[in-house]
Each structure stands twice: as structure tokens, then as C-alpha cells.
A and B are shown apart, each in its own frame.
Chain A
Amino acid sequence: MLSRRRCFAAAANRIRPLARAFCDAPASGAPRSQDHSHTEKVAGVKAPPDVLDVAIVGGGMVGLAVACALSNMPLTKHLKIAIIDSNPALKSRGYLDKNSTPDSRVSTVTPATISFFRDIGAWEHVQQQRHAFFGKMQVWDYTGLGYTRYNARDVGKEYLGCVVENKVLCNSLLLRLKEELDDIENVIYPTRLVSLTFPLKSRQAGMKPASSEPLSVGHTTEELHRSNLVKLDLSDGRILYSKLVIGADGSKSNVRQIAGIKTTGWNYPQSAIICTVEHVVENDCAWQRFLPSGPIALLPIGNNFSNIVWTMSPEESLRHKSMSPEEFVKSVNHALDFGYGPHPRSTALDHYMEQFFSGIGNTATSTKECFEVPPKATGVVSERMAFPLSLMHSHDYVSKRLALVGDAAHTVHPLAGQGVNLGFGDAAALAKVIAEGVSVGSDVGDLTLLQRYEKDQKAANVAMTAVLDGFQKMYSVDFGPLNMVRAAAFHGAQYISPLKKSIISYAMGDKKWPLFP
């Protein structure tokens, strides 16, 4: 009878002392610095180069959001994370001055994003710095054939969104991270990533156990452990090993390129100019007018300031960037007012439509609101910046031990202020999936686990990208019949309350899919 009992406990014993050093990480949120000292204490064992659970490449808004979300949840608090970004802003440790000139780079965060920030505890920091809620929105185009007004009260909410400077968002997340982690200095690596080496496939398929030895002889235990991790080479010469690499390094993602993930997309024949302007009175509404060459948006940023995002052809954008501030202000006011076309005027048809559709659903507040002219800009207070616009979507969001979030995975047209909100959605979904994985003892870099994140997010992101792309194309052609279609669309969105509410909910992030109830 063959009752061979090969106990590999003996072999395991050989590596057990080292194994203890790694797996004795205390379960409940004890400061991570203990781990470092623990490994050093184990006799005769050299402290290895940093071995991490999660390495986040890119410390922008979305990268920091992932780090914050992970350090906020009890299940993932203990994970060793690192943020690799050489941006000096990551050294900041206090609130940014509310009275300084607002930065040109702002984002409109949707209520869904705000509630994510509340969950991870970063919103209270945003509230201590400059931010501007807005409850009204008006969208119209140059033909003067129609307009739509949205009001947060249409869907029973207090605000449609909040405009916050990007640096404020980053800083708030950073401050929250500092609260959660004792040794944030050790978490942030102020360098750049030079290269990534992914583990070889040999661990899975084609594994041949050598005849009688359970482990491959000749490899040290450390080498064995590391051969299963991703190796990150940093520009300052340091080497990190990690179970999972998160690429949060923007649209030109280095991580995505190294991993060889392909993308689909195209450049829009447009660039966007952004800057901050000042008004005489406070602006409390978000304005967007579609012009022949692209939309101009005026977003309140607080304290009588507004942010301008003006999409136009690349040549025009260069011209506008280099013209004098006074000329630019004139140009802006012209574009928002009578430039390119008349104001929409309420005609008998509009009244008729209003009556006709008022019976459907509860009439939204903004259905009755008239067209208003946006406030005049009195001066440009910040530098004007221009950047090209493109659409990009990765074929895969994940691969072995790698996940992409934010702009690294997808970029969209800024016409609806959705870009970074998609990124924050990714951050929340990825953190949730990682927590689920930890709760059932998975390896955080396991591909099947990461694919759940991809499944959750990809379809919704692709839908939003398509919707925005559709709008961009629809508004970029000056063609009589198409103008009529757009006018009809404006009227529909203005007077058909259920449609209006549906649009608002989708844009606010409350609904995952457009049009479906």
C-alpha cells in the first residue's frame, strides 16, 4: 500500500522564520512603522528593499483618492501602499489659502463624487478651502433656437455639483491621508518611475515540480517571493516590489505603455483654453454656450470669480492665449452674449410646448425659468492655459498585477465636466474590489479579482464617453436641419420634465446609465 506521507512541513520550516517576519503584520491598524522595525529585528535577515502590497504610480487626484480610500477602510488599512510622484505639491501639509487667486485648473465634482469624498473623510478638508456649489445651470447654443435650464430642485437636491480647484482636491486628499497614516513620508516616493518588470508566467501554467524537492533549489526565499511580484525601478535608484501596481499617471500613462495595453481613440480638432475671470457680482450658476467651434463654459469658483473652459480650434486657441487680457475679456463676453448669434427668445411655440408637456410627471422648477444672460467678466486674473483635447479608452483596464484608473484608462471631452468624476468612480470601485478580495483572502494582484473592477467600471465609462462624444459631434456641425434637431433637443430637455430629471441624474452620477429608468 502506498501510504507515502510527504509532509512538506519540514521544508516549510526552513522558510517559516522569514515567513513570520512578513505575515506577523498586526491585523488591526497598528502603525505600519512597526512592520519595518520588525523585519529588521529578525536575526540574520537583511531588511529587504521595500516590498509593498499596492504601488500607486501617480499622485494626482485619482491616485491620491485610491490611496485615501484604501487607508480608510478597515479591511485594507493594513496594506502597505506607496505613491510614486515627484510633484512637490505632495509635500504640502496645510490648507491652501482661500484668498489667493483661483487656479485655472478646476474640476466640477458631481454629488456622487462628493459622497465618495465624504465616505473617505476628505470632503471636510475641501470645505475648509475654496469651493463653490452651484444649483443652477443653463445650456444654449449660438443659433438662438433654444435653451435648457437645469435646477437642482428639479430632482429635489440642493446643488448640481461643486467646482473645486484641482490643487484643493489633491491637497484635501493628501491631508486626509496624513491623518490616516502615521508615516506618510515613507509612503510618498518623490521620484519617477523608470521601468516596471512584471512577474513571469511560469508560476502558473507549466509548473513542473522538481522530482523530490518541493522548492527550486538554488533560489533564496527572498528571490522566490520577489519573482512573484512586480518590480519597480525608480529614478533615484531605489527598487520596489509590489503585489499590485495601480497606474494613475494620466492620459500619457507610462505604466500603461510599459504594460503594453492598447488604446482606442482620436484627437478632437479642438483645444481648450482655461483661465479664471472676475465678476462684479457673485456667479451662482453654471453656464455653457455651444458656439460653432466648440462650447464655452463659465463655472463659478467662489468669491466673484469664475472659471472659463473655452473649446475652440487649435489655431484660435493660440490666438486667444496670446492676445491681451482686455481683448480676451471682450472676446469672452462677446461669446457668452450676442456673439455668433442671437439670444434664445421665448416664442409661442415654447409656451405651447410648456403647456403640452406640463402634464407629464411633476413639472420641474426650471421648466418655467426664462433665459438669462450670464454675468459679464470684468477681468482675467489668472494665466491662460491651452491644451489639446482627445478621446481615449484603454482596451483593458487591468492585466496581471496591474490596474489603470482615471485618465490613464480613459479621457473624455470636457464639455460636461465628467472626466475626473469617472476617475473618482474608478478609484472607489477599485478600492471596493480590493477590500472584497482581502476579505476572502485573495492576493490583491490576482487577475480575476481585478477583472471584477474592470467589469464594474468599463461599461459605464464607455457609455459616458460615447454620450459625450455624441454631443461633441452633434454640436460641431453648422447645418440647418441639424441645428433644428439640436433646438428640438434643447426644447425637449427644457420642457419635458422626466427627460430633464433623467439627464440631471445621469450627469450628477446618481444614475449609472443614460436613459434607462
Chain B
Amino acid sequence: MLSRAFLSSGSPLHGRARIQALLPQWSRYASVASSSVPPQPPPPPPPPPSPPRGPSRSGGVGPTVSSLNPAEVAKFASIAETWWDSSGPFKPLHVMNPTRLSFIRSTLCRHLRRDPNSSKPLEGLKVIDVGCGGGILSEPLARMGATVTAIDAVDKNIKIASIHAASDPTTASIEYCCATAEELVKEKRLFDAVISLEVIEHVANPLEFCESLSALTVPNGATVVSTINRSMRAYATAIVAAEYILRWLPRGTHEWSKLVTPEELVLMLQKASVSVEEMAGFVYNPLSGEWSLSDDISVNYIAFGVKKSEASSTNGREASLS
């Protein structure tokens, strides 16, 4: 779990990580019952935690697993402070944030019939940010009026997020927890909107992760997931360019085989009783240095789904089984 977790805060370790070092890490979480698997041998060059995971963030919401590796935690501890340094290693995330928020705002307003001209359109909604990292998404959601709960598996991130949020009265009410989605499911927590951005490409079992997200959503509530497409273009841009050439992310942050295509995401969410209603892509313009929403879902994309209401959920399951 921590391996995902360390991906949420990054440290600028370059060149020492090798993809192979990551593989045992990932295969550790291949099965649900991973508590029986012995902890992996200490990774030789420890996989570099990802600082500017450009689009990726947070992590560790796979099935609950064995021990957190204190060495990994410490690594992230050192760079976690840079979460809020908008010219630091998390800069690409800060730059992309308004675009993601604009999609979330417009889809939530549309589907939940909120006034889009209001300055607090999410007032009264209970929202959870799964894999919140330093709170870059949670704070704007709180400013938009939502009652926000934010979880992350890395304790350091939660601490940083809480401190940063405490200095603004609108964001001080965010409930930060160091927890996983599964734990909250066990507590039977429910939310009007469940948002998990750039997490699913790092979990062991995406299907189960989708089930957890769905379980946290009230019927007719919203589930929003963003990730990177498993396409050649994504390999060229999000992996080769971002990790090796531009060095925005440390090498090995994203493993191409774990990326999720939009079709797969839709099917997984459907299996979890969430029907995807809207999808959009994020496109980066290198000349202006800005991200914008587009129909191009070949690299970064975000999906907005609606949890089926009680009446139709059983029908849905029967349909998907047949």
C-alpha cells in the first residue's frame, strides 16, 4: 500500500530507479490476499517516488496490505513540503488543476442541477477526494461550498494538507484522514460525489478499486475518475516525454501496462453500478504552457459517472452478466 502511497509525494531522485525494480513491487499487489505474501526484498535502488507526477497523484488505495516501508515513507516526507510550492516539483499538477476543476464543476452542476453562476455551486454536497495528496483538489472543492472529506494513504501528505488548509477559514473544515477507500467502505460512509483523480493507474486491482469508489457513492451520486489512457500516444507523451525527456516525473512513475483505457474504465465502473455519462480529455499546449479540456482522450482523460439508483442496480447487474 505504501508503494502506491509514495507516489503521491515525490522526491527528485533521478536516474537511479529502474523499471525492473518496480516490477516486484507491483506484483506484490497482484492478489487480494496479499497479506500472506512475504514483504518484498528491499528494492535495490528504491523506486523513485514521484514528485511532479504531472497528472498523477496520491495513491495507495489498493487492497490493504502488509507493512509500509518506513524507508519509502521517509523519502516522501522529505519532499512532501513541496506540495504547495507552485513553482516546485508539483508545478504541472498545479497548472492542470483548474482544468480538472472546471470539468468537475460543470458536470456536477449539470447532473445535480446546481446553479453554474453561483460562487458556491457545491454547497451542501458531501464530497470525498480519494487520494488527495497535499489537498490540491480538496481545497478548491471546499471553496466551492462542498463539505469535503479527503483521504490519502500517506500520513505525511495528510499532515501537510491539514496545515495548509487550516490557514483559510473556508478550507479549514476539510476532514483529512489517513485511510484507504476500503476502510471507509467498511465504515459505511456515503458521499454525494466521489472523486479520485490520477489514482487508478497505480492500484493493484482497478476493478476492486472501482467497486470501492462505487460503494462510497450514494445512489444517483457522482463518481469522477481521471487517469491516463493506455495508448501509443500516451506512451510517447506521458511516459517517454514526461519522464525521460522533460523530466517532469521520475522514471517509472507510470507503467504503461497498468494504464487504463477509457473503454476499460467504463466497463469496470459499469460492473460497479456506475454508468459513465461524460468524458473529456486534457490537452497540454506546450507553447502557452496551459492545459485545456478537449474531446481528445488519447492521453489524459477524466470520466464522470452516475451511481445507479437502488431500483435499477439489480437490473444492471443482470444485464452485465448476460
Contact = CB atoms under 8 A, between A and B. Distances in A.
Interface stretch (A108-116, A202-210, A339-347): A202-210
B95 interface: yes
Interface stretch (A151-159, A315-323, A390-398, A435-443): A435-443
Contacts of A20: 173
A197 to B, nearest CB: 15
B67 A2 contact: yes
A204 B177 contact: no
A8 B82 CA distance: 21
B176 A443 contact: no
6 contacts: A4-B155, A7-B176, A12-B174, A205-B84, A205-B85, A209-B159
A31 interface: no
Contacts of A79: 119
Interface string A438-475: 11111100111000000000000000000000000000
Interface string B135-146: 000011111110
A383 to B, nearest CB: 46
Contacts of B117: 74-75
Question: Which 9 A-B pairs rank lowest in CB-CB distance, beginning with the nearest?
Answer: A441-B140, A22-B169, A209-B159, A441-B143, A440-B101, A228-B167, A9-B175, A74-B117, A27-B120
Contact of A28 (B88, B118, B143, B164): B118
Given A75-B117, A209-B163, A443-B143, A203 B95 contact: no
B65 interface: yes
Contacts of B180: 3
Contacts of B164: 203, 207
A448 B140 CA distance: 14
Contacts of A7: 175-179
B105 interface: yes
Interface in A1-49: 1-9, 11-12, 15-16, 18-23, 25, 27-28
Contacts of A447: 86
A6 B167 contact: no
Contacts of B139: 441, 443
A9 B177 contact: yes
Which of the listed residues A12, A206, A227 has the most CB atoms from chain B within 10 Å of its own CB? A12
Given A7-B178, A439-B105, 8 more contacts: A2-B67, A7-B175, A12-B174, A16-B173, A74-B117, A75-B118, A209-B163, A225-B169
B123 interface: yes
Contacts of B174: 12
A448 B88 CA distance: 13
Contact of B167 (A11, A77, A225): A225
A125 interface: no
Contacts of A75: 117-119
B25 interface: no
Contact of B140 (A6, A18, A203, A440): A440
